[in-house]
């Protein structure tokens, strides 16, 4: 069953869709208003854009720690209402003739700060609405909203600004935030209040960063996101100048080119669930990173004429890879991280990949803590992500659902266990692997010992009902003894 079958997630999804489309209006309308009504210079417009992203860079970690102290739904609603009030203040000030550039700067800073609260609380709220198996589907649909807004948003914003004017368009944007808050208000799933305890902001931030550092897989994902985000920002800063001066494109052609390349993001959001079901979440995560990394190598070959095709192909596959990567990276950290660490340790916000606790601490929530995960507790012990190799990304595969999990412990039991006895020997080995967070490929003998002891115990106990099919009752005891001896001989070899 998909995530949209969940009524509360459907409300969150509708709120996110409207909010994403509305946010594209202020991205276009605020700079236009600054230029046309206030005569802002290029430097002043760039200052507005910098002020919008500054809260992400300066206060991302602090906001993550604060969000871990609070219930998430009130944070989301308050952020939407606050942004609606700030955006609505612009047309009101313009109506009374008191609008100034400083007013726009304060509004942009305020909406950016509230956006940090909203984004972090939004990502940590999704796991409370859906089960762990539905996380990839839920994140895929939310990423599809982002892609649809990126593709259709600029054109829609342009039409609204052209038809209504910049100030009226901003009033429409304020209404979209109110619409989002209304849908969030209708969510019925109880919001868990964090346990009260002494609070030290710097210590909480340090706990989140140490949690990322102590897990090699989460550290790799977070560093990859931070480094790639930095160089993507460099790319976005120079690409317009490159296309205008070196390639010779007009402004409308540059905008059209951006819309065409963003169709890859839309395709990524629509197909991410199918990819995860076919090859598993771990392979999708790594493959998406490789895909958009290779696609970036086509950008230097861009030029006038047919060489412009290199830019189109690179842009489509880059956007596709980024969206697929975000879907499974967010699904992984949402499934693995405990509730008290979901908002901290973010190195590459807004597409943050958080982590769970270090290996020395419990790596799972208590059974039944999630209101819709009461029957899912037996799987929570298998969240080890820091042992290297394929086992290092098994948690990401688990986040994509049961089809992505491919346990390999049975390959280490090399004795010929047929039928029901093979299943009986496999389960103790799998339990041994899941109950030992520090176990790696080289520590498999402990699983051997558990499997052999289980077979030896079965030899002296009453036959289980599941083992009646093979072999006949008269030969069962001797057959078990021979199989157990064969396992011991194989182990000593």
- 0.85 surpassed by pTM: no
Nearest to 273 by CA among 417, 133, 483: 133
Mean predicted confidence (pLDDT) in 96-121: 88
pLDDT confidence band for 313 (50 / 70 / 90):
very high
Least confidently predicted of 208-217, 309-318, 446-455 = 446-455
Q: Which residue has the higher pLDDT, 51 or 217?
A: 51
pLDDT confidence band for 259 (50 / 70 / 90):
confident
Distance CA 348, CA 229 (A): 7
Distance CA 168, CA 88 (A): 10
In this prediction, residue 442 carries a pLDDT of 38
In this prediction, residue 92 carries a pLDDT of 93
Mean predicted confidence (pLDDT) in 434-444: 40
pLDDT confidence band for 235 (50 / 70 / 90):
confident
pLDDT confidence band for 486 (50 / 70 / 90):
low
pLDDT confidence band for 83 (50 / 70 / 90):
very high
In this prediction, residue 61 carries a pLDDT of 67
Q: Which residue has the higher pLDDT, 210 or 290?
A: 290
With 70 as the cut, is the pLDDT of residue 269 above it?
Answer: yes
Percent of the chain with pLDDT over 70: 58
Mean predicted confidence (pLDDT) in 179-187: 90
In this prediction, residue 206 carries a pLDDT of 66
φ/ψ (deg, to 5) at 76: -65, -45
Tell me the angle at which helices 72-95 and 166-185 cross, rounded to the nearest 10 degrees: 160
The model's pLDDT over 159-174, given as tens digits with 9 standing for 90+, comes to: 777 788 888 888 888 9
Least confidently predicted of 54-58, 370-374, 478-482 = 370-374
In this prediction, residue 411 carries a pLDDT of 33
In this prediction, residue 211 carries a pLDDT of 64
With 80 as the cut, is the pLDDT of residue 91 above it?
Answer: yes
Q: Which residue has the higher pLDDT, 240 or 360?
A: 240
Mean predicted confidence (pLDDT) in 338-342: 53
Mean predicted confidence (pLDDT) in 202-208: 63
With 70 as the cut, is the pLDDT of residue 257 above it?
Answer: yes
Alpha helices in 242-375 (DSSP H): 251-261, 263-279, 281-295, 308-336
Q: Are 247 and 302 in contact (CB under 8 A)?
A: yes
Q: Which residue has the higher pLDDT, 230 or 104?
A: 104
Mean predicted confidence (pLDDT) in 110-128: 83
With 70 as the cut, is the pLDDT of residue 254 above it?
Answer: yes
pLDDT confidence band for 195 (50 / 70 / 90):
low
- Using CA atoms of 75, 342, 173, 101 in order, give the dihedral in degrees to the nearest 10: 90
With 50 as the cut, is the pLDDT of residue 26 above it?
Answer: yes
User: Mean pLDDT: which of 66-75, 194-203, 204-213, 478-487 is highest?
Assistant: 66-75
| C-alpha 53: how far from chain center | 20
Sign of CA dihedral 202, 369, 362, 426: negative
Distances (CA, A) of 112 to 33, 35, 70, 201, 355: 18, 20, 20, 21, 25
Q: Which residue has the higher pLDDT, 346 or 103?
A: 103
Least confidently predicted of 68-77, 347-356, 473-482 = 347-356
Give a three-class secondary structure readout of 367-421: CCCCCCCHHHHHHCCCCCCCCCHHHHHHHHHHHCCHHHCCCCHHHHCCCCCCHHH
pLDDT confidence band for 417 (50 / 70 / 90):
very low
With 70 as the cut, is the pLDDT of residue 359 above it?
Answer: no
In this prediction, residue 89 carries a pLDDT of 94
Least confidently predicted of 37-51, 166-180, 331-345 = 331-345
pLDDT confidence band for 489 (50 / 70 / 90):
low
With 80 as the cut, is the pLDDT of residue 301 above it?
Answer: yes
With 80 as the cut, is the pLDDT of residue 430 above it?
Answer: no
Distance CA 222, CA 214 (A): 12
Residue 433, judged by CB atoms within 10 A of its CB (0-12, 13-18, 19+), counts as buried
Distance CA 429, CA 406 (A): 14
Domains of the chain: 1-131+152-188 (1.20.1250.20), 203-364+380-406 (no CATH), 410-492 (no CATH)
| Residue in the structure block whose two tokens are 């206060």 | 59
In this prediction, residue 125 carries a pLDDT of 80
In this prediction, residue 82 carries a pLDDT of 93
């Amino acid at each position: 069953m998909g995530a949209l079958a969940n009524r509360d997630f459907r409300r969150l999804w509708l709120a996110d869709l409207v909010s994403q489309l509305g946010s594209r209006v202020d991205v276009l309308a605020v700079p236009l208003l600054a230029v046309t009504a206030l005569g802002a210079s290029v430097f002043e417009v760039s200052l507005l854009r910098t002020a919008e992203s500054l809260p992400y860079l300066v206060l991302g970690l602090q906001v993550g720690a604060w969000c871990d102290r609070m219930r998430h739904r009130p944070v989301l609603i308050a952020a939407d209402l606050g942004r609606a009030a700030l955006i609505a203040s612009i047309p009101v000030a313009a109506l009374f003739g008191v609008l100034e550039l400083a007013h726009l700067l304060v509004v942009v800073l305020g909406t950016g700060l509230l956006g940090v609260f909203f984004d972090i609380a939004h990502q940590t709220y999704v796991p409370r609405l859906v089960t762990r198996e539905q996380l990839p589907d839920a994140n895929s649909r939310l990423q599809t909203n982002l892609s649809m807004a990126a593709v259709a948003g600029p054109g829609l914003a342009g039409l609204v600004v052209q038809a209504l004017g910049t100030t009226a368009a901003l009033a429409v944007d304020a209404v979209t935030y109110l619409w989002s808050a209304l849908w969030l208000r209708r969510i019925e799933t109880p919001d868990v209040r964090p346990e009260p305890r002494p609070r030290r902001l710097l210590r909480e931030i340090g706990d989140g960063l140490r949690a990322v550092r102590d897990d090699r897989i989460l550290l790799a994902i977070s560093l990859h996101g931070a480094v790639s985000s930095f160089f993507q920002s460099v790319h976005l800063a120079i690409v317009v100048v490159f296309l205008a001066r070196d390639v010779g494109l007009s402004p409308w052609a540059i905008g059209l080119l951006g819309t065409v390349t963003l169709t890859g993001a839309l395709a990524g959001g629509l197909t991410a669930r199918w990819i995860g079901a076919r090859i598993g979440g771990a392979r999708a995560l790594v493959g998406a990173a490789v895909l958009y990394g290779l696609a970036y190598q086509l950008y230097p070959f861009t030029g006038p004429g047919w060489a412009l095709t290199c830019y189109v192909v690179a842009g489509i596959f880059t956007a596709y890879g980024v969206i697929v990567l975000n879907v499974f990276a967010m699904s992984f950290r949402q499934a693995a991280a405990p509730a008290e660490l979901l908002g901290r340790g973010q190195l590459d916000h807004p597409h943050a990949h958080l982590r769970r606790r270090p290996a020395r601490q419990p790596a799972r929530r208590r059974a039944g803590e999630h209101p819709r995960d009461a029957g899912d507790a037996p799987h929570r012990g298998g969240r080890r992500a820091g042992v290297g190799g394929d086992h290092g990304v098994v948690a990401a595969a688990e986040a994509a659902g049961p089809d992505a999990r491919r346990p390999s412990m049975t390959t280490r039991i090399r004795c010929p266990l047929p039928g029901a006895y093979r299943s009986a020997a496999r389960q103790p080995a799998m339990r041994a692997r899941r109950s030992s967070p520090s176990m790696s490929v080289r520590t498999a003998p402990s699983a051997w010992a558990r499997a052999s002891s289980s077979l030896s115990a079965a030899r002296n106990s009453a036959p289980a009902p599941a083992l009646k099919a093979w072999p006949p009752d008269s030969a069962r005891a001797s057959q078990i003894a021979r199989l157990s001896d064969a396992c011991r001989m194989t182990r000593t070899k």
